[in-house]
Protein backbone atom coordinates (compact mmCIF):
# COMPACT_ATOMS: atom_id res chain seq x y z
CA UNK A 1 0.00 0.00 0.00
CA UNK A 2 1.19 3.51 -0.78
CA UNK A 3 2.51 5.06 2.46
CA UNK A 4 0.43 8.21 1.87
CA UNK A 5 -2.68 6.12 2.51
CA UNK A 6 -1.37 4.26 5.52
CA UNK A 7 -2.79 4.80 9.00
CA UNK A 8 -0.70 4.47 12.14
CA UNK A 9 -1.96 3.00 15.38
CA UNK A 10 -2.01 6.52 16.87
CA UNK A 11 -3.99 7.90 13.88
CA UNK A 12 -6.52 5.08 14.20
CA UNK A 13 -6.87 5.75 17.93
CA UNK A 14 -7.62 9.41 17.20
CA UNK A 15 -10.17 8.44 14.54
CA UNK A 16 -11.91 6.06 16.94
CA UNK A 17 -11.91 8.72 19.65
CA UNK A 18 -13.60 11.25 17.37
CA UNK A 19 -16.14 8.68 16.19
CA UNK A 20 -16.95 7.75 19.78
CA UNK A 21 -17.49 11.39 20.71
CA UNK A 22 -19.89 11.79 17.79
CA UNK A 23 -21.76 8.64 18.82
CA UNK A 24 -20.89 6.81 15.59
CA UNK A 25 -19.22 3.86 17.31
CA UNK A 26 -19.28 2.20 20.72
CA UNK A 27 -15.69 2.20 21.87
CA UNK A 28 -15.41 -1.00 23.86
CA UNK A 29 -13.57 -4.29 23.93
CA UNK A 30 -10.82 -4.45 21.30
CA UNK A 31 -11.53 -0.91 20.18
CA UNK A 32 -10.83 0.47 23.63
CA UNK A 33 -7.52 -1.38 23.68
CA UNK A 34 -6.57 0.35 20.42
CA UNK A 35 -7.65 3.64 22.01
CA UNK A 36 -5.04 2.98 24.64
CA UNK A 37 -6.49 1.25 27.72
CA UNK A 38 -3.59 -1.19 27.61
CA UNK A 39 -1.00 1.45 26.70
CA UNK A 40 -1.90 4.59 28.62
CA UNK A 41 -2.81 5.16 32.23
CA UNK A 42 -6.41 6.06 32.96
CA UNK A 43 -5.13 9.41 34.20
CA UNK A 44 -3.48 10.19 30.84
CA UNK A 45 -6.58 9.10 28.91
CA UNK A 46 -8.78 11.36 31.03
CA UNK A 47 -6.55 14.39 30.44
CA UNK A 48 -6.12 14.42 26.68
CA UNK A 49 -7.22 16.87 23.99
CA UNK A 50 -10.84 18.06 23.75
CA UNK A 51 -12.19 17.04 20.33
CA UNK A 52 -15.46 18.93 19.95
CA UNK A 53 -16.92 22.33 20.75
CA UNK A 54 -20.60 23.22 20.80
CA UNK A 55 -23.85 23.40 22.74
CA UNK A 56 -26.15 20.46 23.45
CA UNK A 57 -29.17 19.41 25.45
CA UNK A 58 -28.14 16.24 27.29
CA UNK A 59 -30.84 13.57 27.29
CA UNK A 60 -29.00 10.31 28.06
CA UNK A 61 -29.54 10.30 31.81
CA UNK A 62 -29.42 7.38 34.22
CA UNK A 63 -31.57 8.00 37.27
CA UNK A 64 -33.42 11.28 37.67
CA UNK A 65 -32.19 14.86 37.87
CA UNK A 66 -33.02 16.52 41.22
CA UNK A 67 -35.92 18.89 40.45
CA UNK A 68 -34.51 21.64 42.70
CA UNK A 69 -31.09 21.61 41.01
CA UNK A 70 -31.18 24.89 39.09
CA UNK A 71 -28.03 26.77 38.13
CA UNK A 72 -24.74 26.35 36.31
CA UNK A 73 -21.61 24.30 36.95
CA UNK A 74 -18.63 26.02 35.32
CA UNK A 75 -15.42 24.05 34.79
CA UNK A 76 -12.12 24.72 33.06
CA UNK A 77 -9.22 22.49 32.09
CA UNK A 78 -6.08 22.42 29.94
CA UNK A 79 -7.80 21.16 26.80
CA UNK A 80 -5.06 20.76 24.19
CA UNK A 81 -2.22 18.27 24.61
CA UNK A 82 -0.60 18.66 21.21
CA UNK A 83 0.00 21.95 19.42
CA UNK A 84 0.89 21.62 15.73
CA UNK A 85 3.05 18.54 16.27
CA UNK A 86 4.46 19.50 19.67
CA UNK A 87 3.28 17.16 22.41
CA UNK A 88 2.66 18.77 25.80
CA UNK A 89 4.88 17.52 28.63
CA UNK A 90 3.08 18.81 31.72
CA UNK A 91 -0.43 18.36 33.07
CA UNK A 92 -0.76 22.16 33.36
CA UNK A 93 -0.01 22.70 29.65
CA UNK A 94 -2.55 23.35 26.92
CA UNK A 95 -5.08 25.98 25.91
CA UNK A 96 -7.96 26.54 28.34
CA UNK A 97 -11.17 24.60 27.58
CA UNK A 98 -14.37 25.77 29.28
CA UNK A 99 -17.54 23.84 30.01
CA UNK A 100 -20.83 24.93 31.51
CA UNK A 101 -23.54 22.53 32.64
CA UNK A 102 -26.88 24.40 32.90
CA UNK A 103 -29.68 22.84 34.98
CA UNK A 104 -33.12 24.28 34.33
CA UNK A 105 -36.51 22.82 35.27
CA UNK A 106 -35.39 19.19 35.24
CA UNK A 107 -33.33 19.57 32.04
CA UNK A 108 -29.59 19.85 31.55
CA UNK A 109 -27.61 21.58 28.81
CA UNK A 110 -23.89 21.63 28.07
CA UNK A 111 -21.80 24.30 26.37
CA UNK A 112 -18.10 23.55 25.83
CA UNK A 113 -15.44 25.46 23.93
CA UNK A 114 -11.84 26.57 23.87
CA UNK A 115 -11.21 30.04 25.23
CA UNK A 116 -10.17 32.07 22.20
CA UNK A 117 -7.30 34.06 23.66
CA UNK A 118 -5.35 36.26 21.21
CA UNK A 119 -2.36 33.91 21.50
CA UNK A 120 -4.47 30.86 20.65
CA UNK A 121 -5.94 32.62 17.62
CA UNK A 122 -2.47 33.65 16.47
CA UNK A 123 -1.21 30.06 16.70
CA UNK A 124 -4.25 28.76 14.82
CA UNK A 125 -3.69 31.34 12.10
CA UNK A 126 0.02 30.58 11.65
CA UNK A 127 -0.44 26.82 12.23
CA UNK A 128 2.57 26.62 14.54
CA UNK A 129 3.30 26.69 18.28
CA UNK A 130 4.56 30.21 19.02
CA UNK A 131 4.38 30.35 22.83
CA UNK A 132 5.94 28.14 25.50
CA UNK A 133 3.72 26.49 28.09
CA UNK A 134 4.36 25.89 31.78
CA UNK A 135 6.30 22.70 31.07
CA UNK A 136 6.73 22.60 27.28
CA UNK A 137 9.12 24.84 25.36
CA UNK A 138 8.10 26.27 22.00
CA UNK A 139 10.14 25.20 18.98
CA UNK A 140 12.48 27.70 17.36
CA UNK A 141 10.36 30.31 15.55
CA UNK A 142 10.77 30.95 11.82
CA UNK A 143 13.24 33.71 11.08
CA UNK A 144 10.68 35.77 9.20
CA UNK A 145 7.96 35.79 11.87
CA UNK A 146 7.68 37.99 14.94
CA UNK A 147 5.00 36.91 17.38
CA UNK A 148 2.53 39.51 18.62
CA UNK A 149 2.60 38.95 22.39
CA UNK A 150 5.20 38.49 25.13
CA UNK A 151 3.79 35.17 26.36
CA UNK A 152 0.72 33.04 26.93
CA UNK A 153 -1.23 32.96 30.21
CA UNK A 154 -3.43 29.87 30.39
CA UNK A 155 -6.48 30.49 32.65
CA UNK A 156 -7.02 26.74 32.91
CA UNK A 157 -6.85 25.94 36.65
CA UNK A 158 -10.07 27.37 38.09
CA UNK A 159 -13.04 29.53 37.10
CA UNK A 160 -15.16 31.72 39.41
CA UNK A 161 -18.01 34.20 39.08
CA UNK A 162 -17.20 37.65 40.40
CA UNK A 163 -18.50 41.13 39.72
CA UNK A 164 -20.83 40.01 36.93
CA UNK A 165 -18.27 38.08 34.94
CA UNK A 166 -16.37 34.83 34.90
CA UNK A 167 -12.73 34.94 35.87
CA UNK A 168 -10.45 32.24 34.49
CA UNK A 169 -7.55 31.70 36.87
CA UNK A 170 -4.02 30.43 36.29
CA UNK A 171 -2.04 31.75 39.30
CA UNK A 172 0.87 32.63 37.00
CA UNK A 173 -0.49 36.05 36.04
CA UNK A 174 -3.66 38.15 36.20
CA UNK A 175 -7.13 36.61 35.85
CA UNK A 176 -8.81 36.43 32.45
CA UNK A 177 -12.28 37.97 32.13
CA UNK A 178 -14.79 35.72 30.33
CA UNK A 179 -18.34 36.53 29.23
CA UNK A 180 -20.53 34.02 31.15
CA UNK A 181 -23.15 33.27 28.49
CA UNK A 182 -21.10 32.77 25.34
CA UNK A 183 -17.86 31.90 27.20
CA UNK A 184 -16.03 34.41 25.02
CA UNK A 185 -12.68 35.98 25.85
CA UNK A 186 -12.84 39.56 27.16
CA UNK A 187 -9.28 40.30 28.28
CA UNK A 188 -6.94 40.46 31.23
CA UNK A 189 -8.63 41.64 34.43
CA UNK A 190 -6.98 43.92 37.02
CA UNK A 191 -9.96 44.74 39.27
CA UNK A 192 -10.33 48.32 38.04
CA UNK A 193 -6.62 49.00 38.28
CA UNK A 194 -6.18 47.70 41.85
CA UNK A 195 -4.16 44.56 40.98
CA UNK A 196 -0.61 45.74 40.17
CA UNK A 197 0.95 44.55 36.93
CA UNK A 198 3.84 42.86 38.77
CA UNK A 199 1.63 40.78 41.13
CA UNK A 200 0.19 37.40 40.19
CA UNK A 201 -3.24 36.11 41.30
CA UNK A 202 -4.02 32.77 42.93
CA UNK A 203 -6.30 30.13 41.42
CA UNK A 204 -7.92 29.67 44.86
CA UNK A 205 -9.39 32.85 46.37
CA UNK A 206 -11.64 32.27 49.38
CA UNK A 207 -14.95 34.00 50.10
CA UNK A 208 -16.46 35.03 53.42
CA UNK A 209 -20.08 33.79 53.48
CA UNK A 210 -21.00 36.49 56.04
CA UNK A 211 -19.65 39.63 54.36
CA UNK A 212 -19.47 38.47 50.73
CA UNK A 213 -15.87 39.70 50.47
CA UNK A 214 -13.14 37.52 49.02
CA UNK A 215 -9.52 37.03 50.08
CA UNK A 216 -6.79 36.45 47.58
CA UNK A 217 -3.05 36.75 47.12
CA UNK A 218 -0.19 36.69 44.65
CA UNK A 219 3.58 36.99 44.48
CA UNK A 220 5.02 40.45 43.82
CA UNK A 221 7.83 39.99 41.35
CA UNK A 222 11.14 41.72 41.90
CA UNK A 223 13.02 42.60 45.08
CA UNK A 224 11.50 41.00 48.18
CA UNK A 225 9.22 38.56 46.32
CA UNK A 226 6.45 39.58 48.70
CA UNK A 227 3.46 37.34 49.27
CA UNK A 228 0.89 40.08 48.66
CA UNK A 229 -2.56 39.60 50.23
CA UNK A 230 -5.76 41.37 49.15
CA UNK A 231 -9.37 41.63 50.22
CA UNK A 232 -11.77 41.40 47.27
CA UNK A 233 -14.33 44.12 48.01
CA UNK A 234 -17.94 43.73 46.89
CA UNK A 235 -17.36 46.84 44.76
CA UNK A 236 -15.13 44.67 42.56
CA UNK A 237 -11.90 46.36 43.64
CA UNK A 238 -9.02 44.98 45.72
CA UNK A 239 -7.66 46.30 49.01
CA UNK A 240 -4.05 45.42 49.84
CA UNK A 241 -3.99 44.13 53.43
CA UNK A 242 -0.46 42.68 53.74
CA UNK A 243 2.89 42.22 52.01
CA UNK A 244 4.98 39.38 53.44
CA UNK A 245 8.54 39.31 52.00
CA UNK A 246 9.87 35.84 51.05
CA UNK A 247 13.48 34.76 50.63
CA UNK A 248 12.66 32.84 47.43
CA UNK A 249 9.96 32.61 44.76
CA UNK A 250 7.91 29.86 46.46
CA UNK A 251 4.95 28.05 44.94
CA UNK A 252 1.86 28.80 47.06
CA UNK A 253 -1.14 27.17 45.40
CA UNK A 254 -3.96 27.48 47.96
CA UNK A 255 -5.05 29.25 51.13
CA UNK A 256 -7.63 28.41 53.78
CA UNK A 257 -9.60 30.77 56.00
CA UNK A 258 -11.15 30.77 59.46
CA UNK A 259 -13.38 33.45 60.95
CA UNK A 260 -10.45 35.76 61.71
CA UNK A 261 -7.38 34.31 60.01
CA UNK A 262 -5.89 33.39 56.63
CA UNK A 263 -3.65 30.32 56.71
CA UNK A 264 -0.89 29.79 54.13
CA UNK A 265 1.10 26.56 53.98
CA UNK A 266 4.27 27.27 52.00
CA UNK A 267 6.13 24.15 50.84
CA UNK A 268 9.88 24.24 50.06
CA UNK A 269 9.05 24.34 46.35
CA UNK A 270 10.65 27.30 44.62
CA UNK A 271 11.80 28.55 41.26
CA UNK A 272 15.50 28.57 40.40
CA UNK A 273 15.42 32.17 39.20
CA UNK A 274 18.70 32.12 37.17
CA UNK A 275 17.43 29.06 35.29
CA UNK A 276 13.99 30.60 34.84
CA UNK A 277 15.39 33.91 33.60
CA UNK A 278 17.85 32.26 31.20
CA UNK A 279 15.17 31.88 28.54
CA UNK A 280 16.26 28.27 28.01
CA UNK A 281 13.94 26.57 30.49
CA UNK A 282 10.21 26.43 31.15
CA UNK A 283 8.84 27.30 34.60
CA UNK A 284 8.37 23.59 35.32
CA UNK A 285 12.01 22.92 34.42
CA UNK A 286 13.07 25.60 36.93
CA UNK A 287 10.91 24.34 39.79
CA UNK A 288 12.91 22.79 42.66
CA UNK A 289 11.90 20.82 45.75
CA UNK A 290 14.30 21.72 48.59
CA UNK A 291 13.97 18.65 50.80
CA UNK A 292 16.27 20.06 53.49
CA UNK A 293 14.23 23.22 53.95
CA UNK A 294 11.08 23.45 56.09
CA UNK A 295 7.47 23.76 55.08
CA UNK A 296 6.15 26.92 56.71
CA UNK A 297 2.70 27.77 58.06
CA UNK A 298 1.94 31.50 57.95
CA UNK A 299 -1.14 32.67 59.89
CA UNK A 300 -2.29 36.20 59.07
CA UNK A 301 -5.17 38.15 60.54
CA UNK A 302 -7.83 38.89 57.90
CA UNK A 303 -7.60 42.60 58.70
CA UNK A 304 -3.82 42.49 58.13
CA UNK A 305 -3.08 43.69 61.67
CA UNK A 306 0.00 42.54 63.58
CA UNK A 307 2.81 40.22 62.62
CA UNK A 308 1.84 36.81 61.22
CA UNK A 309 2.40 33.64 63.22
CA UNK A 310 5.03 31.42 61.55
CA UNK A 311 5.47 27.71 62.26
CA UNK A 312 8.01 25.39 60.64
CA UNK A 313 7.30 21.77 59.72
CA UNK A 314 9.43 19.06 58.11
CA UNK A 315 9.62 19.40 54.33
CA UNK A 316 6.38 18.41 52.58
CA UNK A 317 4.57 19.19 49.37
CA UNK A 318 1.06 20.66 49.46
CA UNK A 319 -1.46 21.79 46.86
CA UNK A 320 -4.89 21.99 48.50
CA UNK A 321 -6.62 22.55 51.84
CA UNK A 322 -9.98 21.87 53.40
CA UNK A 323 -11.71 24.25 55.78
CA UNK A 324 -10.40 26.10 58.87
CA UNK A 325 -12.12 27.18 62.09
CA UNK A 326 -11.43 28.51 65.58
CA UNK A 327 -12.44 26.87 68.85
CA UNK A 328 -11.43 27.76 72.41
CA UNK A 329 -8.34 29.69 71.38
CA UNK A 330 -7.25 27.02 68.91
CA UNK A 331 -6.97 27.29 65.14
CA UNK A 332 -7.84 24.04 63.38
CA UNK A 333 -7.49 23.36 59.65
CA UNK A 334 -7.24 20.44 57.22
CA UNK A 335 -4.65 20.05 54.48
CA UNK A 336 -3.24 17.47 52.06
CA UNK A 337 0.51 16.96 52.56
CA UNK A 338 2.91 14.74 50.63
CA UNK A 339 6.17 13.88 52.48
CA UNK A 340 8.35 14.44 49.40
CA UNK A 341 8.36 16.18 46.02
CA UNK A 342 7.68 13.16 43.80
CA UNK A 343 4.33 14.57 42.65
CA UNK A 344 6.15 17.30 40.73
CA UNK A 345 7.75 14.68 38.49
CA UNK A 346 4.41 12.94 38.09
CA UNK A 347 2.76 16.12 36.84
CA UNK A 348 5.65 16.74 34.43
CA UNK A 349 5.29 13.33 32.77
CA UNK A 350 2.11 13.74 30.75
CA UNK A 351 3.95 13.05 27.50
CA UNK A 352 4.63 9.53 28.79
CA UNK A 353 1.97 6.90 28.22
CA UNK A 354 2.71 5.50 31.66
CA UNK A 355 2.58 8.15 34.36
CA UNK A 356 5.17 7.46 37.13
CA UNK A 357 3.70 6.93 40.57
CA UNK A 358 4.38 9.30 43.43
CA UNK A 359 4.26 9.07 47.20
CA UNK A 360 0.67 9.18 48.54
CA UNK A 361 -0.37 12.36 50.29
CA UNK A 362 -2.04 12.45 53.70
CA UNK A 363 -5.24 14.23 54.70
CA UNK A 364 -3.99 15.94 57.85
CA UNK A 365 -5.70 18.01 60.57
CA UNK A 366 -3.56 20.66 62.29
CA UNK A 367 -4.38 22.21 65.66
CA UNK A 368 -2.51 25.41 66.56
CA UNK A 369 -2.58 27.28 69.86
CA UNK A 370 -3.10 30.91 68.88
CA UNK A 371 -1.81 32.34 72.16
CA UNK A 372 1.57 30.59 71.99
CA UNK A 373 1.75 30.39 68.21
CA UNK A 374 2.76 26.73 68.41
CA UNK A 375 1.59 23.58 66.69
CA UNK A 376 -0.33 21.55 69.25
CA UNK A 377 -1.15 18.43 67.23
CA UNK A 378 -1.50 16.91 63.77
CA UNK A 379 -3.78 13.98 62.95
CA UNK A 380 -4.07 11.98 59.73
CA UNK A 381 -7.50 10.99 58.39
CA UNK A 382 -6.42 9.05 55.30
CA UNK A 383 -4.12 9.03 52.29
CA UNK A 384 -4.17 9.36 48.50
CA UNK A 385 -6.83 12.05 48.18
CA UNK A 386 -7.10 15.26 46.19
CA UNK A 387 -9.43 18.15 45.35
CA UNK A 388 -10.97 18.64 48.83
CA UNK A 389 -14.32 20.45 48.83
CA UNK A 390 -16.94 21.25 51.48
CA UNK A 391 -20.11 23.30 51.85
CA UNK A 392 -18.74 26.77 51.03
CA UNK A 393 -21.48 28.38 53.14
CA UNK A 394 -19.60 26.97 56.14
CA UNK A 395 -16.26 28.57 55.23
CA UNK A 396 -14.48 29.58 58.43
CA UNK A 397 -16.75 27.44 60.63
CA UNK A 398 -16.46 23.87 61.87
CA UNK A 399 -17.79 21.57 59.18
CA UNK A 400 -18.91 17.98 59.51
CA UNK A 401 -18.10 16.73 56.00
CA UNK A 402 -15.18 17.01 53.61
CA UNK A 403 -15.39 15.53 50.11
CA UNK A 404 -12.37 14.40 48.12
CA UNK A 405 -11.54 12.51 44.96
CA UNK A 406 -9.86 9.38 46.27
CA UNK A 407 -7.31 7.14 44.55
CA UNK A 408 -8.09 3.81 46.18
CA UNK A 409 -7.27 1.40 43.35
CA UNK A 410 -5.15 3.46 40.93
CA UNK A 411 -2.05 5.60 41.03
CA UNK A 412 -1.79 9.23 42.08
CA UNK A 413 -4.68 11.39 40.83
CA UNK A 414 -6.43 8.39 39.25
CA UNK A 415 -9.45 8.98 41.42
CA UNK A 416 -11.43 5.76 41.48
CA UNK A 417 -13.86 7.10 44.08
CA UNK A 418 -15.49 10.10 45.68
CA UNK A 419 -14.84 10.02 49.41
CA UNK A 420 -17.04 11.66 52.05
CA UNK A 421 -15.10 12.15 55.28
CA UNK A 422 -17.03 12.69 58.50
CA UNK A 423 -14.54 14.90 60.35
CA UNK A 424 -16.37 14.48 63.65
CA UNK A 425 -16.49 10.67 63.77
CA UNK A 426 -13.62 9.79 61.44
CA UNK A 427 -15.89 7.59 59.30
CA UNK A 428 -15.53 7.64 55.51
CA UNK A 429 -18.08 6.71 52.85
CA UNK A 430 -16.86 5.70 49.41
CA UNK A 431 -18.57 6.18 46.04
CA UNK A 432 -16.74 3.93 43.60
CA UNK A 433 -16.38 5.16 40.02
CA UNK A 434 -16.46 1.67 38.56
CA UNK A 435 -14.15 -0.21 36.23
CA UNK A 436 -12.30 1.92 33.66
CA UNK A 437 -13.76 5.11 35.14
CA UNK A 438 -12.23 8.05 36.96
CA UNK A 439 -13.73 10.96 38.91
CA UNK A 440 -12.69 14.60 39.08
CA UNK A 441 -13.31 17.18 41.79
CA UNK A 442 -16.54 16.70 43.83
CA UNK A 443 -18.46 20.00 44.11
CA UNK A 444 -21.03 20.49 46.88
CA UNK A 445 -24.31 22.16 45.83
CA UNK A 446 -26.80 23.04 48.62
CA UNK A 447 -30.47 22.27 48.26
CA UNK A 448 -32.57 25.39 47.85
CA UNK A 449 -33.63 26.90 51.16
CA UNK A 450 -31.86 24.30 53.34
CA UNK A 451 -28.81 25.08 55.46
CA UNK A 452 -27.72 21.71 56.86
CA UNK A 453 -24.64 20.15 55.29
CA UNK A 454 -26.60 16.93 54.74
CA UNK A 455 -29.05 18.75 52.45
CA UNK A 456 -27.24 19.03 49.16
CA UNK A 457 -25.86 17.35 46.10
CA UNK A 458 -22.39 16.30 45.05
CA UNK A 459 -21.55 16.97 41.38
CA UNK A 460 -18.44 15.38 39.91
CA UNK A 461 -17.36 15.15 36.31
CA UNK A 462 -16.09 11.71 35.36
CA UNK A 463 -14.51 9.88 32.45
CA UNK A 464 -15.33 6.41 31.10
CA UNK A 465 -12.39 4.91 29.17
CA UNK A 466 -14.42 2.17 27.46
CA UNK A 467 -16.78 4.75 25.98
CA UNK A 468 -14.09 7.48 25.71
CA UNK A 469 -16.83 9.72 27.03
CA UNK A 470 -17.31 12.19 29.85
CA UNK A 471 -20.22 12.12 32.29
CA UNK A 472 -21.51 14.09 35.25
CA UNK A 473 -22.22 12.14 38.44
CA UNK A 474 -24.86 13.49 40.86
CA UNK A 475 -25.09 12.09 44.39
CA UNK A 476 -27.08 12.91 47.50
CA UNK A 477 -24.61 14.62 49.83
CA UNK A 478 -26.31 13.36 52.98
CA UNK A 479 -26.53 9.68 52.08
CA UNK A 480 -24.12 9.44 49.09
CA UNK A 481 -26.99 7.63 47.30
CA UNK A 482 -27.05 7.72 43.49
CA UNK A 483 -29.29 10.42 41.99
CA UNK A 484 -28.31 10.70 38.33
CA UNK A 485 -25.54 10.18 35.79
CA UNK A 486 -25.60 12.50 32.79
CA UNK A 487 -23.74 11.27 29.70
CA UNK A 488 -22.36 14.09 27.60
CA UNK A 489 -21.77 12.31 24.28
CA UNK A 490 -18.46 14.21 24.30
CA UNK A 491 -14.93 13.97 25.59
CA UNK A 492 -14.04 16.78 28.01
CA UNK A 493 -10.61 16.52 29.66
CA UNK A 494 -10.98 16.08 33.40
CA UNK A 495 -8.77 19.00 34.43
CA UNK A 496 -8.87 20.49 37.91
CA UNK A 497 -11.50 22.83 39.31
CA UNK A 498 -14.93 24.37 38.86
CA UNK A 499 -17.79 25.97 40.76
CA UNK A 500 -21.59 25.86 40.83
CA UNK A 501 -23.73 29.01 40.91
CA UNK A 502 -27.46 28.87 41.58
CA UNK A 503 -29.82 30.33 39.01
Task: Name all domains of the chain by residue range, CATH numbers in brackets.
Answer: 40-141+150-502 (2.130.10.10)
Residue 48 DSSP SS3: coil
- State phi, psi for 31 to the nearest 5 degrees: -65, -40
Please check if 385 is assigned to a binding site: no
Strands (E), 79-132: 82-83, 86-87, 96-104, 107-114
Distance, in Å, from the CA atom of 317 to the CA atom of 337, rounded to the nearest integer, reads: 6
Strands (E), 124-260: 158-162, 165-169, 176-178, 185-188, 206-207, 214-219, 227-232, 238-244, 256-257
Residue 277 DSSP SS3: helix
Q: Is 359 exposed, middle or buried (0-12, 13-18, 19+ CB in 10 A)?
A: middle
pLDDT values of the chain reduced to their tens digit, one per residue, 503 residues: 333 333 333 443 444 444 443 333 333 333 333 344 446 788 889 999 998 999 999 999 999 999 999 999 999 999 999 999 999 999 999 999 999 999 999 999 999 999 999 999 999 999 999 999 999 999 998 888 888 999 999 999 999 999 999 999 999 899 999 999 999 999 999 999 999 999 999 999 999 999 999 999 999 988 789 999 999 999 999 999 999 999 999 999 999 999 999 999 999 999 998 998 888 899 999 999 999 999 999 999 999 999 999 999 999 999 999 999 999 999 999 999 999 999 998 898 877 766 777 899 999 999 999 999 999 999 998 889 999 999 999 999 999 999 999 876 555 567 899 999 999 999 999 999 999 999 999 999 999 888 899 999 999 999 999 999 999 999 999 999 999 999 999 999 999 999 999 99
Nearest to 388 by CA among 404, 400, 401: 404
Please check if 174 is assigned to a binding site: no
Please check if 320 is assigned to a binding site: yes
Distance, in Å, from the CA atom of 111 to the CA atom of 233, rounded to the nearest integer, reads: 30
- Three-state SS for 291-346 is CCCCEEEEEEECCCCCCCEEEEECCCEEEEEEEEEEECCEEEEEEEEECCCHHHHH
Question: Edge-to-edge strands of the sheet including 456-464?
Answer: 61-63, 482-487, 469-476, 456-464, 437-446
Q: Is 124 exposed, middle or buried (0-12, 13-18, 19+ CB in 10 A)?
A: middle
Distance, in Å, from the CA atom of 93 to the CA atom of 371, rounded to the nearest integer, reads: 44
Please check if 204 is assigned to a binding site: yes
Q: Indicate the DSSP class of residue 3.
A: G
Question: Edge-to-edge strands of the sheet including 261-266?
Answer: 256-257, 261-266, 295-301, 309-313
Cα-Cα-Cα-Cα dihedral sign, residues 357, 363, 369, 370: positive
Q: Indicate the DSSP class of residue 250.
A: B
For the chain, report the end-to-end CA distance as a whole number of angstroms: 58
Distance, in Å, from the CA atom of 305 to the CA atom of 454, rounded to the nearest integer, reads: 36
Amino acid sequence: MNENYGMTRRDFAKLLGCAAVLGLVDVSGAASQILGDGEKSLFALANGTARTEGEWRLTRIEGKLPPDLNGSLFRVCPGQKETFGVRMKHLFDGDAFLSRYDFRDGKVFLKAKFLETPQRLEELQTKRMLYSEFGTAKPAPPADYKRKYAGKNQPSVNVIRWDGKLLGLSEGAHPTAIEPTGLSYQGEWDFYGTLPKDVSFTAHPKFDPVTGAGYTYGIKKGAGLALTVFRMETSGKLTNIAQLPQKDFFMVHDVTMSENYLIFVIPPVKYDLPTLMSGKATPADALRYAEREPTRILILRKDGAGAPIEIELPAAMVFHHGNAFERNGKLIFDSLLTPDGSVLQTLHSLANDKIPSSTPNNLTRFTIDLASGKLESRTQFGSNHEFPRFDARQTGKETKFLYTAGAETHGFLESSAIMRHNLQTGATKTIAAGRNRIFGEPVFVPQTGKMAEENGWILAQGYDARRHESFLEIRDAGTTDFAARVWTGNYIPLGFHGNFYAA
